[in-house]
Structure 1
Amino acid sequence: MSVPGWLPPQDTAVQEYVHNCKKLNALAEALETTLAYLLYDDSVKWDCLAQVTEGLDSTCKLFVKVAGDHRAAIVSNFKCTHWKKLINNKRLSLTYFLNQTVTIGLGKFLESPEHLVHILKLIVFHDTILPLGSGAESKSVSIVRNTCPVMLLPMRKLSLTKILQIVAQLRAEECGQQLVYVLMNIKARREKAEEDYPTSENSSMEVYRALTENISPSHTSLSPGNGNGGRPAADPDSEEGILDSLIVMECARLRILFTTTVRVAPDYLGHHPVPDPVTGAIAKFKMSSKSKQKIVSYYQEVLWGMVGGYAEYSLIWKAIGFYGDTCNKWSSWLRKFVANVNLPQNLRPALQSLIDGLTVHVTTVTWDYSFRKALVAAGYQNGSYITDDVLNGTRTGMLFKDMFEELVALSNSCEGSNWTAVALEELPLTEQIPVLHRLDHSVHTCRLWAEGKARQLANMWNMDQFFRVTQTDVSWCLEALSKRHFSKNDDLLCPENSVHVMVCGKMRAKLVSEVQDNVIQLKQVPNESVEVLASVCRIYSLANLQLMFPEAKYWKQQFDEVPQYASNYVEDYLEVVLKPVIHAAAELESLVQQRVSCLVLDIMCEAWLDHIYKYKIKFSEWGALQLLADFGAVPTWLMERVKATPNLLCTEMLRRCEGVGRLLLSQRGHRVPMVDKTIRKYQGENNENSPQRMPPEMYVPNQTQWLELRASKVNLFSLCCPLNMVKPITQSE
């Protein structure tokens, strides 16, 4: 017996369904291949678009027939289920390719009626087969094959509004370029007209211009009954007329689309029967003027809403350049232009978007450029021998100051004069938040730079650059930051406001508080840097004394004569440690100058005494006199070399050093009087208990420890060897 004899008889409905599916699969495969071929953007291939649309009717009917066949035999048959899934996947692939083909075709052949007819047929075919797969078996995510992308969102019909959106998106770039070209011509014409005016302020033309600007109204009264959005017809050669011509030209491009749609797909225009004015018969597919105006208004709204972004790109990156100064001038000019010219309402969103884009670009580019220059200058400043001074500060500090001035100016421009008089939704919060972000980061970076540079320069003992950075540069930055002002935003945080206003208000309040905190920390840098200088000064002084101070045997020598001059190391010590500080601080304020000079003098004198006591250097009578002469040479050096102030000559540490020298000369058990009678009274001073009348020994906190450093006078060699036979030891030995 043959095998077919064992098989059940096939149902006629199943055979018919499978035959239709195979035929439809072949047609869809051929159509899909042709559409994919068209997407290579070759104008020659688009000539076969007429051949593609010839068989759309039969293919569409076959899609409807296969998708609408719900007979029981077909639903329960496995082979039919398989073919149904295969056809559904093919339908999804076709809708994807049709969508891409229509989008590209509308951009290429919007003004070509011959090609536009075929594109509209593709749109009708797309909208017919799109809903055929909607059912219980359809998935929310359409995955066809590995070569076809995943369509996460369900595709929608290509309605008239969708077609207008596609056309507007395709035309937005070219319209943006045209708008930029028109604006550049208007600006150039205005500048030329201003140059042609007489320059004399007393001329009659200047008086006429001033009266015209201040007396004439900036906006012309509009008649509400005018067909151009309530605006009167403008002169074609005027600025308003040139801008109106842009809108008229774009509206004229839709005329071919409307006429072709009436012939090919009239249902897309809606059912608006209009009676014929002669016969009175109703034309079924004739559009009313009201419907046409509504469609045109929608297209203009969508188109000019997207033009701003393309105009920004064309203006910045193709026309005027991306430099912050140029863009800032253009932004200011556009603001005045929008405020003083009677613009078409459709162009206002585009121009406002262009202004906002320029503002954001200026903020970003200005900060990036200034911040990069400051960081590069700070990096070069790390060299030991590289100095790039500007006035009393550095070039890096001047760059930080310029950056702060620009950021503060941008932030203040967003504040406005009176927030309470402006609607909360219209406040420039979104423009100010990026500026505050950059201002906060810049102040923080400037503070870190100043603190790090202070430690580096203090360790190098480069006092000139140290005070330039920590005092002058920081004061410049604080002066620029002092011009900032922030309005109170309590009204922004009310729960009655919108979510957008509340979120922006809270973000702004947080950034303002961070900026204020960083500014407070920056104000503390000058005082903190002086503390860093004090800690480094002690180590630097001890290190120099380790190299300069004479050996212990130098101070144990015995001579009959009293030393008349200071040792050689004293001048070297003062020249290395104190002189750079006094010379560098000469350009600072008097209070800062006195504080720093006295602080460094006290620290180096204290280090002088600590070095002596640390190494337990013993002093003979001559050595004590020599040390006293060394201490006494400090005020003389201050008066002769650096012209010190009286406050610097009367520091407590100088008196303490003198007291140590006298303690080394005093005998054991000697009582120090509370008032030194040998010191003459100052003019007008009657109080004997004045600090100036106290003996220097009273400034020494622990006198006993210094008495232990006196060398013994008698030794075994003094009985047999006279003192004048001992060779004196000099400091160089």
Structure 2
Amino acid sequence: MSFPKWLPKDLQGSYHLFYDMSRASLTFKWLTNRYLKEICFEIPDLHVVRELTNLTLCAFRKSDALQTHVTKAYVKKPGDKRIDRNPYYQLVAQKATIILGNLQQKQRQLIFIIRNQINLLLHAAQKQDSFIDDALSMVAVHNKCIEFTKNFDGAAQICSISYTTIFLPPTRIDVKDILQALTSHRSEHCCLQLISNLLVSCQVETGNESESDTSSIEVLKALTSHMSSGASPLCANDTQKAAAQDPTMEFFDKMVSIPQSAEESLKNDANIDHLEKMVSTEENYFAFILLKCLQFCPSIFETKPTQTEIVKYVNKATQTLWTQVGASLEHIVLWWHVAPLACEPVAAARHLRDWLLSMQYDEAPETLVSILRCLGETLTVHVACTTYDSQFRLALVASSLPIDYKFESDEFYNKKTVSEGTTTTGRLWSELLYTLTTFCNNCDQHSTIPNEIPIVEQIAVLHRLDHSIHTMRLWAAAKSKALCIEWGMEMFFKVVHNDINQCLEQIKVLRTPDLVSPDLFEVEIQVNVALRAKLISEVKVNICKLKLTSDECIEVLASICKMLSLATLSLCFPKSQFWQSDVLQENANEYVNHFLDEVYLKVVRSTNVLEILNLILRIMCEAWLDHIYTQKIKFSREGALNLLRDFEGVSQWIINCKYVLPEHVDILAKHEVLRTCEGVGKILLRKPFEIIPMSEKTGHSPRVPQKSDDPDGETLLPPEMFVPNQKRWLQLRARKRNQLNSIMCICAGQPCIT
């Protein structure tokens, strides 16, 4: 047997076939490079696209014929014993498999590049509609290429590690893929256009406002005049001056970008509903795209679509578009825009949020209602977080400054939070609580169903509100104690009465309605509802503690007042020898006025609350008596009468004080503690075993004027009856001089000389 008998008769034919397949692989590689280099995304060139698509179809037809021939002639099939018996055929089959793999690899690479270029052309179509024709022409070629590769979809070849999608079998591009690609590329444009149209829609509402005391209305007025092409030079100059003064206006000027076509439509139709027009514009755009698809690539439809099916496609595309707009609108507004809202003053976000919340959603298009509500909720969270950070920082800084420091900050100024007599720090805490309370009330004002309100956003606001009330209470308690130590009564009562009451006034409008039972909702909603209820209970507990803070501060005031009174008396109260003299004074001693001026006058000038005035007066007089008894001061008869004059000087000081209200003078001058002091003085005038009558006539002692609560002025309860433990005061009576001399003489054994 000779070797030539084993050689195939068509040896030259297989050689030419393999050569043609190698050339086809090079053709696909060449076409791939041309798609990458010659497709222009700045200027549409339909001629180049048609040339490339024709060459691509010719290459795939030729490749399909070559693959069919090689597969039938040289690729091993199951049960084919002809190749197993001949080593040469085994070698040829192995080579055919390798060449087929290389060819399929180049085909997949070309299909991948075509699909990638289609996506880029669809993205470029947002700037110029002519790119739609190029993209749809390439879609038709792409789908035909997929048809050629279906019969030869063998094992996956390693094409590129960087592009793993090439490993997957290529799929056809249908109408849903095109609409989805367009919606994803068009969503950012619609976000910007939606923001612009929202602000333009404010023109009708703010243009007729006669009173514009809020900066948001001023911003919108300046904004509409900025966008109006027919504005007068005077208006433009006023707008520029206002923008130079308010950074918020600069933000809105940067944020609004309306095309010339939109400006012309605003001039022609000033009263048109811009939101409705925007929705209809997008519907017309997708209808235009479907007509283009029918013209350039009808193969993307399974069957020829009817008018009803086209309407369904349009509705589905617009729904997908606005869904993507809603998902990315907040990010574009806050971060991705050329003038990101998050980088601007928080007032800008607050103006936009307030307008969205005040907007009547019944008048808005149905497709935009959820988007606008979601944007408002997102801006609520952003404004709440940034406002809280700014206001809480300001409040903490002001808390560390002196209480009377003029800390000017008008960024969060609100008339509802300003009250006469509040401190700067108290005003800042009041503004913070007002802001958080407003945010919290806005979350559940439309519904009480858990899945219909922004419960997650409200949880964040409630957490900050709880923390703010707790911190404000701690500040008020600490600051009031420090002011008591310094005896700064003016600022003390501003903190205890005005600041705390003003903060409680802001929290009083907090609404926390009970939500519908979440048992039928998802577990996540149930957890959020439980967390919301927990935070609400903690907020209420802190509110109750804040209400009790004023009483706690008054208790601290009482304890410090007693120590201050004792310290003042230790410095100004006369020595023991003064009270044992025989000199009888007509008026009260000077230390009485000094004592009252140092302690009581600051309280009287700072508050008109009768309970507090009575409390401080009682503490001062009790400290006065404690000082006398603690020092064991002995009183002669004249000294006791002088002490009575001093006690009467308190009533006279109250009557002459111009800061005491007329209706309080009589009450304070006849205070019960003054009767106690008078009783101590009279006890010092009595003998140890003298019986005190239970009633006495008025005017019994011409030296000591009587005070009577009886309207007729006939009888009154003796002042001694107001003194507890009367016996101890009898120990403070000084002995008479003749008695002292008799005792000394008896002790010496000499007769007494009287």
Q: Any gaps of 5 or more consecutive residues in structure 1? A: 1-18, 75-84, 196-234, 273-285, 587-592, 721-733
Match in the other structure for 2:674:
654
Indicate conservation of the 8 Å contact 1:404/1:481, yes or no: yes
User: Could you list the per-position Cα deviations for residues 664-721 of structure 1 after superposition, in whole angstroms to 9, with x for gaps in the alignment?
Assistant: 5555x44462636345754258998x7x43416x5244743772695896999x999x
* In structure 1, C-alpha distance between the alignment counterparts of 2:172 and 2:559, rounded to whole Å: 77
SS at match of 1:459: helix
CA drift of 1:582 comes to 1.7
Structure 1 residue aligned with 2:321, among 303, 311, 329? 303
Match in the other structure for 2:402:
383
Shift in alpha-carbon separation, 1:418–1:353, aligned structure 2, 3 A? closer
Shift in alpha-carbon separation, 1:349–1:101, aligned structure 2, 3 A? same
User: Could you list the per-position Cα deviations for residues 370-424 of structure 1 after superposition, in whole angstroms to 9, with x for gaps in the alignment?
Assistant: 77447526643631543689423335445544555555455445545885xxx76
Q: What letter is aligned with 1:114?
A: D
* In structure 2, C-alpha distance between the alignment counterparts of 1:653 and 1:368, rounded to whole Å: 55
* In structure 1, C-alpha distance between the alignment counterparts of 2:321 and 2:720, rounded to whole Å: 92
Match in the other structure for 1:539:
563
Match in the other structure for 1:631:
647
Structure 1 residue aligned with 2:572, among 546, 549, 567? 549
User: Could you list the per-position Cα deviations for residues 51-95 of structure 1 after superposition, in whole angstroms to 9, with x for gaps in the alignment?
Assistant: 9987897899999999xx999999xxxxxxxxxx99999999999
CA drift of 1:654 comes to 3.0
Indicate conservation of the 8 Å contact 1:429/1:504, yes or no: yes
Q: What letter is aligned with 2:319?
A: E
Match in the other structure for 1:256:
292
Shift in alpha-carbon separation, 1:290–1:349, aligned structure 2, 3 A? closer
Indicate conservation of the 8 Å contact 1:306/1:350, yes or no: no
Q: Does 1:683 align with 2:698?
A: no
Q: Does 1:322 align with 2:351?
A: no
Indicate conservation of the 8 Å contact 1:32/1:97, yes or no: yes
* In structure 2, C-alpha distance between the alignment counterparts of 1:705 and 1:36, rounded to whole Å: 112
User: Could you list the per-position Cα deviations for residues 612-633 of structure 1 after superposition, in whole angstroms to 9, with x for gaps in the alignment?
Assistant: 455x354352655544443332
Match in the other structure for 1:178:
193
Structure 1 residue aligned with 2:634, among 619, 623, 630? 619
* In structure 2, C-alpha distance between the alignment counterparts of 1:155 and 1:575, rounded to whole Å: 97
Match in the other structure for 1:8:
none
Match in the other structure for 1:479:
505
* In structure 1, C-alpha distance between the alignment counterparts of 2:34 and 2:479, rounded to whole Å: 69
Indicate conservation of the 8 Å contact 2:326/2:374, yes or no: no
Q: What letter is aligned with 1:483?
A: V
SS at match of 2:517: helix
Match in the other structure for 1:469:
495
Shift in alpha-carbon separation, 1:663–1:168, aligned structure 2, 3 A? same
Q: What letter is aligned with 2:315?
A: S
CA drift of 1:107 comes to 0.7
Shift in alpha-carbon separation, 1:462–1:36, aligned structure 2, 3 A? farther
Structure 2 residue aligned with 1:607, among 615, 618, 623? 623
CA drift of 1:565 comes to 3.3
Shift in alpha-carbon separation, 1:118–1:88, aligned structure 2, 3 A? closer
Q: Does 1:527 align with 2:559?
A: no
* In structure 2, C-alpha distance between the alignment counterparts of 1:27 and 1:665, rounded to whole Å: 131
Q: Does 1:673 align with 2:689?
A: no
* In structure 1, C-alpha distance between the alignment counterparts of 2:163 and 2:656, rounded to whole Å: 88
Shift in alpha-carbon separation, 1:629–1:50, aligned structure 2, 3 A? farther
Structure 1 residue aligned with 2:604, among 566, 573, 582? 582
Match in the other structure for 1:596:
612
User: Could you list the per-position Cα deviations for residues 146-196 of structure 1 after superposition, in whole angstroms to 9, with x for gaps in the alignment?
Assistant: xx5999xx999675444433321110111233334444445435766899x
* In structure 2, C-alpha distance between the alignment counterparts of 1:447 and 1:188, rounded to whole Å: 44
Match in the other structure for 2:472:
446
Q: Does 1:562 align with 2:588?
A: no
CA drift of 1:472 comes to 2.4
Shift in alpha-carbon separation, 1:157–1:660, aligned structure 2, 3 A? farther
* In structure 2, C-alpha distance between the alignment counterparts of 1:37 and 1:710, rounded to whole Å: 120
Structure 1 residue aligned with 2:529, among 498, 505, 511? 505
Indicate conservation of the 8 Å contact 1:327/1:362, yes or no: yes
Match in the other structure for 1:164:
179
CA drift of 1:241 comes to 5.6
CA drift of 1:355 comes to 3.4
Q: What letter is aligned with 1:683?
A: D
SS at match of 2:520: coil
Match in the other structure for 2:260:
none
Deviates most, 423-432 or 53-62: 53-62
Structure 1 residue aligned with 2:718, among 671, 686, 693? 693
Q: What letter is aligned with 2:316?
A: Y
Q: Any gaps of 5 or more consecutive residues in structure 2? A: 1-18, 79-83, 85-89, 91-100, 211-268, 342-346, 408-417, 701-705, 746-754
Percent of counterpart pairs with the same letter? 23
* In structure 1, C-alpha distance between the alignment counterparts of 2:154 and 2:672, rounded to whole Å: 97
Shift in alpha-carbon separation, 1:503–1:129, aligned structure 2, 3 A? farther
User: Could you list the per-position Cα deviations for residues 23-49 of structure 1 after superposition, in whole angstroms to 9, with x for gaps in the alignment?
Assistant: 999999999999999999998999999
When the two chains are superposed, the root-mean-square deviation of aligned CA atoms in Å is: 5.9
TM-score when normalising by structure 1: 0.64
Q: Does 1:492 align with 2:526?
A: no
Structure 2 residue aligned with 1:392, among 396, 421, 439? 421
1:268-279 aligned at under 5 Å gives the runs: 268-270=300-302, 272=303
Deviates most, 555-564 or 95-104: 95-104
Indicate conservation of the 8 Å contact 1:458/1:536, yes or no: yes
CA drift of 1:517 comes to 2.1
SS at match of 1:565: coil
TM-score when normalising by structure 2: 0.62
* In structure 2, C-alpha distance between the alignment counterparts of 1:708 and 1:116, rounded to whole Å: 115
Match in the other structure for 1:188:
203
* In structure 1, C-alpha distance between the alignment counterparts of 2:649 and 2:528, rounded to whole Å: 66
Shift in alpha-carbon separation, 1:665–1:687, aligned structure 2, 3 A? closer
* In structure 1, C-alpha distance between the alignment counterparts of 2:148 and 2:559, rounded to whole Å: 85
* In structure 2, C-alpha distance between the alignment counterparts of 1:92 and 1:629, rounded to whole Å: 114
Shift in alpha-carbon separation, 1:680–1:597, aligned structure 2, 3 A? closer
Shift in alpha-carbon separation, 1:257–1:662, aligned structure 2, 3 A? farther
CA drift of 1:117 comes to 4.0
CA drift of 1:457 comes to 2.6
Q: What letter is aligned with 2:622?
A: E
Shift in alpha-carbon separation, 1:606–1:86, aligned structure 2, 3 A? farther
Indicate conservation of the 8 Å contact 2:377/2:454, yes or no: no
SS at match of 2:355: helix
Shift in alpha-carbon separation, 1:530–1:123, aligned structure 2, 3 A? farther
* In structure 2, C-alpha distance between the alignment counterparts of 1:687 and 1:124, rounded to whole Å: 123
Indicate conservation of the 8 Å contact 1:674/1:694, yes or no: no
* In structure 1, C-alpha distance between the alignment counterparts of 2:520 and 2:579, rounded to whole Å: 90
* In structure 2, C-alpha distance between the alignment counterparts of 1:469 and 1:427, rounded to whole Å: 37
Q: What letter is aligned with 1:256?
A: K
Shift in alpha-carbon separation, 1:633–1:313, aligned structure 2, 3 A? same
* In structure 2, C-alpha distance between the alignment counterparts of 1:24 and 1:630, rounded to whole Å: 123
Q: Does 1:349 align with 2:344?
A: no
* In structure 2, C-alpha distance between the alignment counterparts of 1:60 and 1:662, rounded to whole Å: 130
Indicate conservation of the 8 Å contact 1:556/1:711, yes or no: no
Indicate conservation of the 8 Å contact 2:694/2:718, yes or no: yes
Match in the other structure for 1:460:
486
Shift in alpha-carbon separation, 1:379–1:569, aligned structure 2, 3 A? farther
Number of residue pairs the alignment of both structures matches: 608
Indicate conservation of the 8 Å contact 1:38/1:46, yes or no: no
Q: Does 1:516 align with 2:540?
A: yes
Shift in alpha-carbon separation, 1:297–1:329, aligned structure 2, 3 A? closer
